[in-house]
Amino acid sequence: MTADRVANENNGLQASHDTRRLRLFSGTSNPDLASEIGAYLGVPDGPRVIKRFADGELYIQIQESIRGCDVFLIQPTCAPVNDHLMELLIMVDACKRASCRQVTAVIPYYGYARADRKTAGRESITAKLVANLLTKSGVDRVLAMDLHSSQIQGYFDIPCDHIFGSPVLVDYLRSRAQGEVVVVSPDVGGVARARAFAKQMNDAPLAIIDKRRSAHNVAESLTVIGDVVGKTAILIDDMIDTGGTISQGAKLLQRTGAAKIFCCATHAVFSPPAIERLSQPGLFEEVVVTNSIPVQREFHFPQLKVLSVANMLGEAIWRIHQESSVSSMFR
């Protein structure tokens, strides 16, 4: 089911239900997304104070009664990840001490997700550590979007609803990617994601870029497995960080004969030098991302298109509040 269909079919349902026990509060990482979610639900972003003391310590106060309420805290843990994570933990503690019924951490982007396993001796599995911190802080449930790897959902000892931004991306790309389309995974690890995306794109064929990584944030693309000659290639990933993997993959697709190249990802991390790489003239037809992470105005470039996932997150929040199925949104 697409995001638009979900929105249209549930607007009347939402209007008929009581939202007096539903509360939304945003942190400082993405207040615009929280406002959009609130508009979808008809529930305003709740009043709170977030400030810093002279020594850098955070102070957070919830400024309305939430006793017995279902509280949803909207906070992607994007850069600066440590500040936003700590802010979320303090917000959780403030809500629990205010006698709310349940706290759900809505984390559109889950920081530290790439540290999901040990690849060398004496490393931390930080994705699991963050899950432990959230659980111990008092979070009752987590709502996350496009986790870097599916096993992270199992790191939580509390319910974790995992939703996907792909319906929003697919809705847009169906109208933009003309001609014969091939969906391309930028590496072998993303094949499952690309295969699911290709199925949504009217069962488009799949291609894979064989990549060798020599160091963190450094990738060398070697060859394309699959037919891309004369086709519109859609490179799909969960996030774009420095843009090295995506830009090298796009150049390889050009050399292999792709007619047009679209790039899409849910999370626009955009660490330097991502903007310089992605905005190269003649490389991408469009770079399509969502607002799970706020994209600052200075990071915008002509090929960039930012789509909103607010309605999808809002619908998931509504279903959690109503104790109905979240997974059925994607059937």
Q: Could you give the CA distance from residue 149 to residue 116 in angstroms, rounded to a whole number? A: 8
d(CA 128, CA 152): 7
Share above pLDDT 90 across residues of the chain, in percent, rounded to a whole number:
88
pLDDT at 9: 47
What is the token pair recorded at 81?
């990840």
Could you tell me the pLDDT band of residue 5, with boundaries at 50, 70 and 90? very low
Q: What is the mean pLDDT of the chain?
A: 93
Domains, the chain, ranges and CATH? 3-165+310-330 (3.40.50.2020), 166-307 (3.40.50.2020)
Query: Is residue 15 very low, low, confident or very high in pLDDT (cuts 50, 70, 90)?
Result: very low
| Lookup result for tokens 């809002």 | 314
Name the DSSP letter for residue 67: T
| Crossing angle (nearest 10°) for helices 126-137 and 81-97 | 20
The answer to whether the CB of 290 falls within 8 A of the CB of 268 is yes
In this predicted structure, what is the pLDDT of residue 168? Answer: 97
pLDDT in tens, 158-199: 999 999 999 999 999 999 998 999 999 998 889 999 999 999
Q: Is 310 helix (H, G, I), strand (E, B) or coil?
A: helix
The share of the chain scoring above pLDDT 70, in percent, equals: 92
The answer, yes or no, to whether residue 10 has pLDDT greater than 90, is no
pLDDT at 13 over 80: no
Which of 154, 155, 148 has the alpha carbon at shortest distance from 130? 155
Residues in CB range of 155: below 8 A, 6 or more apart: 127, 128, 131, 132
pLDDT category of residue 14 using cuts at 50, 70 and 90: very low
**Which one, of 156, 136, 138, lies nearest residue 147 by Cα?**
156
pLDDT classification of 242: cutoffs 50, 70, 90: very high
Q: Which residue has the higher pLDDT, 5 or 279?
A: 279
Query: Which are the catalytic amino acids?
Result: 211
Neighbours of 140 (CB within 10 A): 17
| Res. 213 pLDDT band, cuts 50 70 90 | low
Q: How far apart are CA 259 and CA 188, in angstroms?
A: 23
